[in-house]
Chains A and B, each alone.
Chain A
Amino acid sequence: MTTRRNFLSQVALGSLLSGATPTKAKSIIYLHMSGGPSQIDLFDAKPQLKRFQGQDLPGSVRMGQRITGMTSGQSTLPVASSVFSFGKYGQSGAEFSELLPWHRKIADDICLVRSVNTDAINHDPAITFIQTGSQQPGRPCIGSWVNYGLGSENKNLPAFVVMISQKSGINVDQPLFSRLWSSGFLPSNYQGVKFRAGTDPVLFLNDPEGITPSTRKNILDLSGQLNAKRAAELGDPEIETRIAQYEMAFRMQSSVPELTDLSKEPESTFSLYGPESRRPGTFAQQCLLARRLVERGVRFVQLYNRGWDQHGDLPRDLALQARAVDQPSAALVLDLKQRGLLKDTLVVWGGEFGRTVYCQGRLTETNYGRDHHPRCFTMWFAGGGIKGGQTIGETDDYSYNVVKDPVHVHDMQATLLHCLGVDHLKLTYKFQGRYFRLTDVHGNVVKQMVG
């Protein structure tokens, strides 16, 4: 019952590597935009929608699909075109709204997928689904799967790190849940380790005042030596493991502060990521930390940016939200590229679903809100085996249904694993008699994304 596979030095499960393709990505940085960014106001330009402004969404478009309890009671579902203007950028002609000026610089590095779709229509099931492959709690998240499958390349840092940044808009925010970085039925040493802003980036990392450096060393050595005697006496290898874990904890006490100490970063770094990157806890600083983590061989870095749930006051709140996220997201890609890390690092950007073309609440010329929309949304991917400079998928005139190259969440998950050289069909874990996988019983690698 004891799992002796260690926390920081797991060995890859050789057999599950998909032999057909050479391994491309070593790490993933997953930038999750919690709440559901509006594809219609950021990526999926629909200029012709202006003509239908305020008209009821045609039944032929909705096709009776279920909508949430928040708008199912509305007497009409009036079309709200975006107040933001769009342009095409880079040689690839990727489309971004004016809210994402920094994205123009990475237009040819990213693969924009406008046809991602999901099964869930509310936050809790949708975010659980995109992170674990199931709408219901209990399964391991993608970072835990990757940690389980590939382990770590750094002996002094966790293989799977999670960071959370708060909203930049005004309206109420959606919650998150520890299950999103939980290892589910996998042993708990595969769960994400949360790094937090402030003096203790990892829980209880720093010795409190009163525990002097030599005291810490003495405690470590004394318990280590007594443990070693006990191990010799009883022969239980678990004691040796414990000694090793304590030594790693001690090393983490210096490796983590070294990681989070940004004082040696040059000025150019901060100008690239923006002024917010000097402020602990911001999305900008977390993007910078994400780069420093993958530089050190950390396998999976999961960021959550809260505040993308614009049911009302979308023009105001989305603009605030995008302003905080646009530059650091692009900077991360540019920074990885300039350091030669982008080929080994897969960057993922997106929410748990999209937003409806129809307005939630009162529609005015300058203000509107949008409800959750599972049928299509936009994500982007860069580096680590992804073919950049392309846009995949098309939606209908209302950005409501996918009309070309649909990419289901399970397909996206299969593709991420593929980029790491892992066959999603083979990365399994037997629990309650069944071989579970991230993609459940679904998922196809999206060939077009990987070129």
Chain B
Amino acid sequence: MRSLLFFVAVVAWCKPVEFTRDVRPILSDACFQCHGPDDSSRKAGLRLDTKEGAMAKAIVPGKAAESLLVKRITHASPVLHMPPRAAKVQLTEAQVATLRQWIDEGAKWEEHWAYQKPVKPAAKSIDEIVKARLIKEGLAQNAPADKATLLRRVTLDLTGLPPTPAEVDAFLADRSAKAYEKVVDRLLASPHYGEKQAMHWLDLARYADTHGFHIDSHRDMWPWRDWLIGAFNKNMPYDQFTIWQLAGDLLPNATREQKVASGFNRNHVINYEGGAIPEEYQTEYVVDRVEATSTTWLGLTMGCARCHDHKYDPIKQKDFYRFFAYFNNVAEKGLDGQRGNAAPVLSLPTETQAGLLKEINEAVASREKQLEAADVPAQIKAWEARRQFAAPSRAGLLAHYEFEGNMLETTGSYKHGRYLGLPPTPRDGPVGQAATFDSTSQAEAPAAHDFDSTKPFALAFWFRGGNNLDPLVILQQKNETGWLFTHDTIFNIGDLRRGAHLIVKFFAPGGATLEMQTAAPFGYGDFVHFTLNYDGKGKFTLLQDGKPAALTTVKNTLNGANFRTTAPLTVTKLVGTLDDLRIYNRELSAGEAHQLAVIEPVRYLVENSGIRRTKEQTATVREFYLAYEAPEATKALYARLQQLKRERKELEETIPTTMVMEERAEMRETHLLIRGAYDRKGEKLTAATPGFLPPLPAGAASNRLGLAQWLVSGEHPLTARVAVNRMWAQLFGTGLVKTVEDFGSQGEMPSHPELLDYLAVRFVELGWDMKAMQREMVLSATYRQSSKVRPELKERDPENRLLARMSRFRLQGESVRDNALAVSGLLNAKIGGKSVSPYQPPGLWEDVAYGAQFTAQRYQQSHGEDLYRRGMYSFWKRTLPPATLATFDAPDREKCVARRATTNTPLQALALWNDPTFLEAARHLAERTLRAAGPDRGKRLRQMFRTATARYPTPAELALLDKVAGEQLAEYRAKPAEAAKLVAIGESKTQYADAVELAAYTSVASAILNLDEVITKE
């Protein structure tokens, strides 16, 4: 609404009417819906988006009163009035007057400005253009900002971090004419420059650490992010930057870096919801690439032409699918991402790793070939026919539960067990059926053994974890005394899976406990066989899958006390699967454990040859045969092969990967999709750029590489304008074209068309040099003025479109965080690498997440230095983005976002008050000040305030600070326990001896970190 008023005001000031600035926006907004580029929805055969259409019958140049257009927009009859009374957009009186005036003045027509190549104006600088406009408006620019404000502004703009007090001192002390220029050059060379630029680009690239959509599990695109930061720091020219990101993989002899860069268009959301239709999602991925690419480079809303011709811009539905065809040939699957990155993926080994991997691969291939030559299936068939298995020994077997759909005890020595509540679900297990328990199914059996510290025993069973998030008790025989098996939970073992350590506990009277756990974790979703032996004399041994497994003692307070129990055997609250539970009154030998864990599953399959084997079961038999029963040479060959594969897996797990673009060998056909639906295919189309824009450069291929070269040929009317406009918006808060994402007919007109064109032409002249372009902007007087809002500007130009002052606006969420960490001295300035997980209130992910069998379902907070990384490295889960960043308007990154909102809400106040990040930062700001400033309170407060704001407080401000500091000292002196609690917030430990003093200054520091000035770029 405000912008509308602004333009109305502009019209009133500046006569005569200009078509592009004054008329076209009205026609576009109010008329194009029915009289625009969309052939299928055009009413009455009238189109007003082209000169021919408009002049054909609606407009009589010079004669508004005779023009049908004016008659209809002023018609008294509600039936004949235009726009129709029910339409969303109605014309204001001022708009009607503008249209009249335009026709009366001759109805001069101009094509849409953004589709015409920018022309370099006569003006020679940013300031010349801005000032000329201000003179026309009768306004003057503000005086230059004071040096400290300017330094803080430019440091935040170029690096996203505040200046240090030393940097402020140095700048204030430097009286040379080039002082500011030197600072700018220092900042452009800072490695944090790349971080700041990347921070904005990540929104366009919809970068995240999870796949989005339904399950929203983990992915790794941080190598692409690292590339991005590096590219900005190296000042890669924007043309090359564009080509690499859109088509790095298609460059001749593409380097690893170029391929990594192409990941821009793999950052989109990827789905693998069970039941989803692959084709539907593969289509969505391509649509997303079209939207992200067109928004980022063209400032066009091509997505609007997915279902029908664009209503406002000359983009036909066919144009959309022709553009779509460029991105439709990726070697990808519709549903993917269950295990980390989705194909196509690029592995990023070091040179050593690559060499090693090649060696192993060759060794694997040669052994696999040898194995194939031996015709193993035929060998197995013959072997199965003759092989007789012995059953495991039943000596000392007290109880045996097979879980074949019930809890019968098969030795006959003991009473059968029974299921309580709802019966567990029977599933295929390692040996016949297994029982899957959930939170309502339980089992109970009488004690099979008088378990006693003085008697040996063995417990053997199969276990597989379910989809619970929390560790649960697997099995137990316990009242006050007795034993139980449980486990812990660890995430992301190996290839991003969940793992657990088995935990065994024994309890003696009076709380005496022995707790042991496996030294190595097992895969939580795998069937694992455990045999726990006890020798009757205090010694436990564990066999896992028939092999000895190390047990670590976590706690032992037994001291010989007896854990004797005759409590019933119970399974309560287990979410997981059990099979083949055996209890012996003796220890089992390694051979016997092996027999239970390895031979029994095979014996079951071979003896029940009538059962149709699953793939896994066939593999079980094959593996057994090759490992134990085949001829010696084959066994050795197989053993070596398995060893190599294990080594390969271990190696691969240490090598990061990133998703990249990669073409399919066979071209995927592209069709126009009727109404945009993936399953309603229209005519077949090939890749091409929209007809209303310049043609591809001569010799450009009809693929993504050609498309990228077209964008940066220097002939394109949009690419440079869109890029410089975004740079401008980063610095000034608002783009010259406010709608940075839309340069089309419905986008806003540039506030300074001449300036936009000047910058666009200059950018290309500078060889697409981003640093040079930004340097020119921040060196301008326009940028260097004060941001003070003069009273007359408040009314006249509240959005500061005329630039009579510098814009003053809140820092982006990431910078709010980074700034607090930096001024407190807590910031870990490490650049790049994997994302980290700072403090976040517990349970946020778990409230919405799917379950444990996928990654990134449970928030695992980082510790130590990783707690203090910059906000851009916070682990970005799309279905629940970092909480405090989201409170400060960070997007969820499900889609390309070119412009963030900047809101001002009480939730932001709560976060700045109480998020431990900010309280811990306040404590560090206080502590560093107390240590450095000496005992004087005034000096302390001045220094603390200056560290946070880059300026000293005024006497009045200091008086306020001093009063509160005094009160806070009294408060915490009276409540030292509260002081201790305040300074204990956060994981870093304070070394400051006087907790009361530290707490008092921490509270003052918190007030300072909450100042508008501190979270604002002035």
Contacts and interface: CB of A to CB of B under 8 A. Distances in A.
A234 B216 contact: no
Contacts of B1006: 219
Nearest to A205: B910
B304 A249 contact: no
B214 A175 contact: yes
Nearest to B960: A225
B956 A179 contact: no
Nearest to B308: A441
Contact of A204 (B425, B809, B913, B982): B913
Contact of A211 (B883, B889, B914): B914
B968 interface: yes
B284 interface: yes
A122 interface: yes
A226 B957 contact: yes
Contact of B961 (A209, A210, A222, A425): A222
B652 interface: no
A76 interface: no
Contact of A177 (B216, B744, B808, B982): B216
A246 B89 CA distance: 37
Nearest to A2: B902
A62 interface: no
A227 B747 contact: no
Interface in B675-729: 679
Q: Which of A8, A71, A122, A215 has the most chain B CB within a 10 Å cutoff?
A: A215
B677 to A, nearest CB: 10
A246 B311 contact: no
A245 B909 contact: yes
A157 to B, nearest CB: 10
Given A177-B216, A226-B960, A208 B916 contact: yes
Contact of B273 (A122, A243, A245, A425): A122
Given A2-B809, A372-B275, A204 B911 contact: yes
Contacts of A338: none
Interface string A159-192: 0000010100011111111110010000111000
B245 interface: no
Nearest to B729: A1
Nearest to A138: B895
B790 interface: yes
Given A175-B850, A210-B981, A7 B907 contact: yes
B386 interface: no
B848 A178 contact: yes
A239 B895 contact: no
B915 interface: yes
Nearest to A238: B904
B304 A425 contact: no
B879 A179 contact: yes
Contacts of B578: none
B733 A212 contact: no
Given A249-B906, A434-B304, A164 B850 contact: no
A211 B914 CA distance: 9
B265 interface: no
Contacts of A87: none
A222 B1003 CA distance: 10
Contacts, number: 286
Contacts of A189: 901, 903-905
A237 B978 CA distance: 37
Interface string A202-224: 11111111111011101101110
A114 B286 CA distance: 37
Interface residues of B, number: 117
A387 interface: no
Contacts of B772: none
Contacts of B915: 204
B999 interface: yes
B274 interface: yes
A236 B304 CA distance: 37
A266 interface: no
Given A173-B851, A175-B216, A175-B849, A235 B794 contact: yes
A433 B1016 CA distance: 30
B971 interface: yes
B742 A245 contact: no
Given A196-B847, A209-B978, A235-B790, A68 B971 contact: no
A69 B274 contact: yes
A278 interface: no
A178 B879 contact: yes
Q: Place the interface of chain A in its size category.
A: 35 or more
B344 to A, nearest CB: 23
B998 to A, nearest CB: 11
A428 interface: yes
A203 B848 contact: no
Chain B at the A interface: SS class: loop
Contact of B311 (A170, A205, A434): A434
Contacts of B311: 434
Q: Which of B274, B733, B984, B999 has the most chain A CB within a 10 Å cutoff?
A: B274
Contacts of A173: 850-851
A214 B971 contact: yes
Interface in B732-755: 733-734, 738-739, 741-742, 744-747
A136 interface: yes
A188 B275 CA distance: 32
Contact of B913 (A1, A176, A219, A435): A219
B886 A69 contact: no
Contact of A433 (B212, B746, B847, B849): B746
Contacts of A196: 843, 847
B850 A174 contact: yes
Given A8-B906, A178-B881, A219 B809 contact: no
B276 interface: yes
A418 to B, nearest CB: 15
B1013 A222 contact: no
Contacts of B880: 177-178
Contacts of A301: none
Interface string A114-142: 00000001111000000000001110000
Interface in B284-339: 284, 301, 303-304, 311-313
Contacts of A207: 913-914
B788 interface: yes
A70 to B, nearest CB: 4
Contact of B979 (A121, A198, A210, A225): A210
A40 interface: no
Contacts of A250: 909
Interface string B892-903: 101100010111
Interface of B: 86, 88-89, 212-216, 269, 271, 273-278, 284, 301, 303-304, 311-313, 422, 425, 438-440, 467, 679, 733-734, 738-739, 741-742, 744-747, 787-791, 794, 798-799, 808-810, 841, 843, 847-851, 878-881, 883-884, 886-887, 889, 892, 894-895, 899, 901-911, 913-916, 919, 954, 956-957, 960-961, 964, 967-968, 971, 975, 978-985, 999, 1003-1004, 1006-1008, 1010-1013, 1016, 1018
14 contacts: A1-B799, A69-B274, A172-B851, A173-B850, A177-B880, A189-B905, A208-B916, A222-B961, A226-B1011, A229-B954, A236-B787, A236-B789, A249-B913, A433-B313
Given A204-B915, A218-B968, 9 more contacts: A66-B277, A205-B914, A226-B960, A226-B1007, A234-B808, A238-B1012, A245-B905, A426-B88, A433-B745
Closest 8 CB pairs of A and B: A433-B746, A210-B982, A68-B275, A210-B981, A249-B909, A249-B906, A204-B914, A177-B879
Interface of A: 1-4, 6-8, 66, 68-71, 121-124, 136-138, 164, 166, 170-179, 182, 187-189, 193-194, 196, 198, 200, 202-212, 214-216, 218-219, 221-223, 225-227, 229-231, 233-239, 241-243, 245-246, 248-250, 252, 313, 316, 371-372, 425-426, 428, 430, 432-435
